[in-house]
Amino acid sequence: MDKILILDFGSQVTQLIARRVREAHVYCELHSFDVSLDFIKEFNPKGIILSGGPNSVYESDYQADPKLFELGVPVLGICYGMQWMAQSLGGKVEAGHVREFGYAEIEVCNENKLFHSLSDRVEGGKTFLEVWMSHGDKVTELPAGFKTIASNPSCPIAAMADEVRGFYAVQFHPEVTHTLKGREMINQFVLEACGCKPSWTMPNYIDQAVAKIREQVGSDEVILGLSGGVDSSVAAALIHRAIGDQLTCVFVDNGLLRLNEGEQVMNIFNKHLGVKVIHVNATEQFMGHLAGVTDPEAKRKIIGREFVEVFQAESAKLPNAKWLAQGTIYPDVIESAGAKTKKAHTIKSHHNVGGLPETLKLSLLEPLRELFKDEVRELGVALGLPHEMVYRHPFPGPGLGVRVLGEVKQEYCDLLRRADAIFIDELREFDWYDKTSQAFAVFLPVKSVGVMGDGRTYEYVVALRAVCTSDFMTAKWAELPYDLLGKVSNRIINEVRGINRVVYDVSGKPPATIEWE
Ligand code: XMP
């Protein structure tokens, strides 16, 4: 299989380069800029992409091994990657007088494989492209063998190439959608310049992954903690495809799930796909430990701890299990690799099944480690999971435990579940579910006065939260139509006895977070 190696110099958007390459149906991996030359040789890429980064090449220790230019492999440098390429090959990089940030138009000045047949505007026989620039430094002198392939007044060498060696470099960011023909540029680099075959497709991937799982696992048994979320569900379906009954899933109902979620998971996996699933109803155990606890982080810890406890007890009943399967996906892998070098600030401790392997003596099976979220979804559909499940909004590990503010009580969870289901129902009805990235109801344990019929009521409040985001790091509140909000509010107040007021959360992230706790 042809592969592209992406070297990350720390740009915020490096992951997007990988996305674009995968969209061209070419497999790629992203690694830190300072991997060794031996690693690169062993990886055996058909092409290398150098990402952007926040530093200046002439004063930074963000230097890859320049011997990579001697491997006979095409290289594409982006922004910092271009500057590092220029400097490493004998060109010159200087600080610009002004930072260039935002849309720019560049003129294509020499026929080349990267921009071949691309244009956003043609005037007077000249071809122009709309691109996204974000840089301070720029290349001011070409290295030997290079020619300028795009230019504009503020950045005379906006792109350069040495097509004999297969080296290309652009000062702008082709990986972001603001560069209108960026996707095509990356396509042309990987398919034309590097000559990769577009063989990274879902059916091919399923065959490969199934073969790999069979080889890894042999006749051993595997256990998997099924949460009903996309990643663990797709991992379960894939592993089941590979090894059938050697897989046992453990589905822990902690009492903090959404309305009818347990039933749905059992229907899809057990009844429909024939997967062995142990359904553990641990509601009482979780509620017992959560009683009287109001601190959000303490609640998260308890929920995580109890999950491990229950899971461990169940796995002890499967003494032949040698493997623990997890739905780890590529962004998790990149993030934890990045977390080692970059200082990450923990705002909320995220509870996932990640705490398990140390306490259970099992080997890890992570068949989705190489996939991005949208690839995981595509895989799920290809494996026969319902579209609705695979494209469901994310749901936090601690579930309603962080959506019932303060102390978690069964009664509050029951009210919240019903209010939340109404909200989601109407979002789908109004065709807004897919336009929001995450939407849910939050239970506020305060009472307010209302009037219903002839009587005064004194009941709880529910807040609705809906956000639009691409990465969940920042988010905007969704501008839901008033008639949708009105209908949801009416239905909740009429149908959920115990709630007499509904409010809509209009806070962005930052400064607020998506969840309320
Ligand atoms: P925040 O609230 O930090 O949420 O803006 C960002 C995304 O993370 C999810 N989230 C969690 N997921 N365990 C999880 O597995 C957690 O403890 C947790 N807290 C927040 C949240 O739903 C949103 O998608």
Same domain for 187 and 207? no
Over residues 320-332, the mean pLDDT reads 92
Over residues 344-366, the mean pLDDT reads 61
Same domain for 207 and 179? no
Q: Which of 217-226, 361-370, 399-408, 505-514 has the lowest mean pLDDT?
A: 361-370
Q: Give the contacts of 332 (CB within 8 A, at least 6 positions apart).
A: none
Same domain for 337 and 420? no
Q: Which of 258, 373, 514 to mutate to test the pocket of ligand 1 (most atoms within 8 A of CB)?
A: 514
| CA angle 76–82–86, rounded 5-degree value | 110
Q: What is the CATH number of the domain that holds 35?
A: 3.40.50.880
Band of residue 355 on the pLDDT scale cut at 50, 70, 90: low
Same domain for 232 and 371? yes
Q: What is the CATH number of the domain that holds 489?
A: 3.30.300.10
Shortest-distance Cα residue to atom 22 of ligand 1: 396
Over residues 285-314, the mean pLDDT reads 96
Shortest-distance Cα residue to atom 16 of ligand 1: 350
Same domain for 14 and 146? yes
Verify whether residue 194 is a known catalytic residue: no
Band of residue 343 on the pLDDT scale cut at 50, 70, 90: very low
Same domain for 433 and 335? no
Q: Domain of 437?
A: 410-504
Q: Do residues 57 and 87 make contact, with C-beta atoms less than 8 angstroms apart? A: yes
The strand pairing partners of 279, in sequence order, are 251
As a whole number of Å, the end-to-end CA separation of the chain is: 45
Buried (b) or exposed (e) across 236-261, using 16+ Cβ within 10 A? bbbbbbbbeebbbbbbbbbbbbbbeb
Band of residue 349 on the pLDDT scale cut at 50, 70, 90: very low
Q: Would residue 362 count as lying in a domain?
A: yes
Same domain for 272 and 384? yes
Q: Would residue 13 count as lying in a domain?
A: yes
Catalytic residue among 135, 173, 240, 351: 173
Catalytic residue among 28, 79, 194, 249: 79
Label residue 361 exposed, middle or buried (CB < 10 Å: 0-12, 13-18, 19+). Answer: exposed
Over residues 495-514, the mean pLDDT reads 97
Q: Would residue 401 count as lying in a domain?
A: no
Task: Please give the pLDDT value at position 431.
Answer: 98
Q: What are phi and psi of 361, to 5 degrees?
A: -90, 70
Same domain for 445 and 307? no
pLDDT over threshold 90, residue 135: no
Same domain for 365 and 414? no
Buried (b) or exposed (e) across 303-338, using 16+ Cβ within 10 A? bbebbbbbbeebbeeeeebbbbbbbbbbbbbbeeeb
Q: Report pTM.
A: 0.83
The strand pairing partners of 133, in sequence order, are 102
The domain tally of the chain equals 3
- What percentage of the chain reaches a pLDDT higher than 90? 85
pLDDT over threshold 50, residue 342: no
**What own/partner pairs with CB < 8 Å and gap ≥ 24 does 147-153 have?**
147/110, 148/109, 148/110, 149/108, 149/109, 149/110, 149/112, 149/114, 149/115, 150/106, 150/107, 150/108, 150/109, 150/115, 151/106, 151/107, 151/109, 152/104, 152/105, 152/106, 152/107
Task: Please give the pLDDT value at position 12.
Answer: 83
Task: Please give the pLDDT value at position 357.
Answer: 57
Task: Please give the pLDDT value at position 127.
Answer: 97
DSSP string across 430-490: TT-GGGSSEEEEEEEEEEEEEEETTEEEEEEEEEEEEEE-SSSSSBEE----HHHHHHHHH
pLDDT over threshold 90, residue 237: yes
Same domain for 162 and 222? no
Instruction: Tell me, in angstroms, the distance from the centre of ligand 1 to residue 326's CA.
Output: 18
Q: Would residue 197 count as lying in a domain?
A: no
Give the residue ranges of DSSP H helices in 64-143.
Answer: 80-88
Residues present in the chain in total:
517
- What percentage of the chain reaches a pLDDT higher than 70? 96
Catalytic residue among 135, 155, 163, 175: 175
Residue with more model confidence, 61 or 415: 415
Q: Would residue 399 count as lying in a domain?
A: no
Task: Please give the pLDDT value at position 290.
Answer: 98
Verify whether residue 175 is a known catalytic residue: yes
Over residues 36-47, the mean pLDDT reads 98
Shortest-distance Cα residue to atom 7 of ligand 1: 472
Q: What is the CATH number of the domain that holds 353?
A: 3.40.50.620
Same domain for 208 and 107? no
pLDDT over threshold 60, residue 415: yes
Q: Give the contacts of 371 (CB within 8 A, at least 6 positions apart).
A: 329, 330, 379
Looking only at the bridges linking them, the beta strands covering 47-50 and 121-123 are unpaired
Helix or strand (DSSP H, E) at 169: strand 167-170
Q: Would residue 400 count as lying in a domain?
A: no
Q: Would residue 257 count as lying in a domain?
A: yes
pLDDT over threshold 90, residue 420: yes
The model's pLDDT over 424-471, given as tens digits with 9 standing for 90+, comes to 999 999 999 999 999 999 999 999 999 988 899 999 999 999 999 988
pLDDT over threshold 50, residue 410: yes
Determine whether the shortest distance from the Cβ of 399 to ligand 1 is under 6 A: no
pLDDT over threshold 70, residue 358: no
- Which of 167, 192, 217 delimits the end of a domain? 192
Determine whether the shortest distance from the Cβ of 438 to ligand 1 is under 6 A: yes
Q: Do residues 307 and 253 make contact, with C-beta atoms less than 8 angstroms apart? A: no
CA atoms within 13 A on the CB side of 180: 11
Verify whether residue 345 is a known catalytic residue: no
- Which of 130, 158, 192 delimits the end of a domain? 192
pLDDT over threshold 60, residue 217: yes
Same domain for 176 and 278? no
pLDDT over threshold 80, residue 336: no
Task: Please give the pLDDT value at position 347.
Answer: 45
- Which of 192, 225, 241 delimits the end of a domain? 192
Residue where the block lists tokens 């149906």: 25
Q: Which of 58-62, 108-112, 334-338 has the lowest mean pLDDT?
A: 334-338
Name the average pLDDT for the chain: 93
Q: Would residue 476 count as lying in a domain?
A: yes
Task: Please give the pLDDT value at position 464.
Answer: 98
